[in-house]
Amino acid sequence: MKSGFVAIVGRPNVGKSTLVNHLIGQKICITSRRPQTTRHRIFGIKTTEAGQAVFVDTPGIHASEKRAMNRYLNKAAGAALGDVNVVVWVIDRPAFLSEDELVLQRIQRTGAPVILAINKIDRLEDKDLLLPFLQAAGELHDFAAMIPLSALRGANLQELDRMIMSLLPEGELIFPEDQVTDRSMRFMAAEIIREKLIRSLGQEVPHALTVEIEEYQLEGDLTRIRALILVERSGQKAIVIGKKGDGLKKVGERARMDLEKLLEGKVFLQLWVKVKEGWSDDERALKSLGYAD
C-alpha cells in the first residue's frame, strides 16, 4: 500500500481547487472564477485499494505582498510545500507567465518529484502548441511527468491519478479510509457561504470579505448556523445586502441548499453583515479570524 502528501500548487485561478475536487470525486474546496478564492490550506483525502493520497489544496502563489492577506496567502502556499511526497504544478495554458517563475523557484527547493499539469486544454484552440511547449518545459525542469488535462471535463485525470500513486512511497494510511478532508463542518459552512458571496458579487468586494461562524448547533435533525459576514467599508455592506435585502437573501438560499446536501439534513441559516475596517491588512485581525495556518 502507498500513502503520502501531494501538494497542488500554481499561481491564482489556474483551477487547483477544481482539480482537487474532481480527483477526490467530491466537493471539498470552494471554487469561482475570481483569483484568490482559496485562502486556506485544505486536505482532500482519497483512499483506494492502492493506497491513500492526501491532496493539499493551496492558495495561489503571487508576486504582490502589499497587504497582510497577500502575505498570509503566500505563506500558506509555501508552508504546504514542506515535507510533501509529490508536487503537482498546475498551469492553465501552454505558456509560462511571470508568476509561474515564483512557483518554480519554490517547488525546486522541495526536492520532491514534480508533475506539470497543463489544465483547461478543452479551451485550447490550437492543440499544435502543446508539443513545442512540452519540449521547452522539459528543458526548464526535470519533471516526473507532463500531463495536459481538463479538471472540469475530467480529461486525463486517470493518467494523473496513476502517476501520482506511482510516485508515492509505501506506507500505512495517514487518515481513516472514510475521511475525505481534515476540515470541520464549521469551517466548510463558512467556506460555502463565502463561495456564494464571491459568485454573486462584483470585482472588488470578494477580496474585502470573510465569513465567521458565530453559532453552529445540532438540534435533532436540524443544524442551526449563524454566520457573520465581515466587510471593510459601509459601501461594501450595502452591496452585500442588496436592494431590500435581496442580495443577502439569495446568498443565504444558495448556501443553505449546498449545506443541506453536505449535511444531509435541514439547515436553519442566519446571515449578518458587519463592517470591520482594514481587517484584511491587519495581522492580528487575520489571526483572530482563523487565518493562522
Fold exhibited by the domain 2-167:
Rossmann fold (3.40.50)
Q: In which residue are the cell numbers 516526473 written?
A: 144
Coarse DSSP helix, strand, coil percentages of the chain, rounded to the nearest 5 percent: 40, 25, 35
The model's pLDDT over 83-100, given as tens digits with 9 standing for 90+, comes to 899 999 999 999 999 889
Fold exhibited by the domain 185-288:
GMP Synthetase; Chain A, domain 3 (3.30.300)
Output the nine-digit C-alpha cell for 204: 472588488
Gap between the Cα atoms of 228 and 211, Å rounded = 6
Gap between the Cα atoms of 116 and 94, Å rounded = 11
The model's pLDDT over 134-146, given as tens digits with 9 standing for 90+, comes to 999 999 999 999 9
The model's pLDDT over 156-167, given as tens digits with 9 standing for 90+, comes to 999 999 999 999
The model's pLDDT over 46-93, given as tens digits with 9 standing for 90+, comes to 999 999 999 999 888 877 667 888 888 888 888 888 889 999 999 999
In the sheet that holds 222-231, the strands lie side by side as 210-219, 222-231, 266-275
To the nearest whole percent, how much of the chain has pLDDT over 90? 73
The reply to whether 2-167 and 185-288 are identical in fold is: no
Does the pLDDT of residue 40 top 80, yes or no? yes
**Do residues 24 and 44 touch, judged by C-beta distance below 8 A?**
yes
**Where exactly are the structural domains of the chain?**
2-167, 185-288
Residue 149 has, within 13 A of its CA and on its CB side, a CA count of 27
Give this prediction's pTM.
0.91
Q: What angle do CA 42, 254, 247 make, to 5 degrees?
A: 110
The model's pLDDT over 182-198, given as tens digits with 9 standing for 90+, comes to 999 999 999 999 999 99
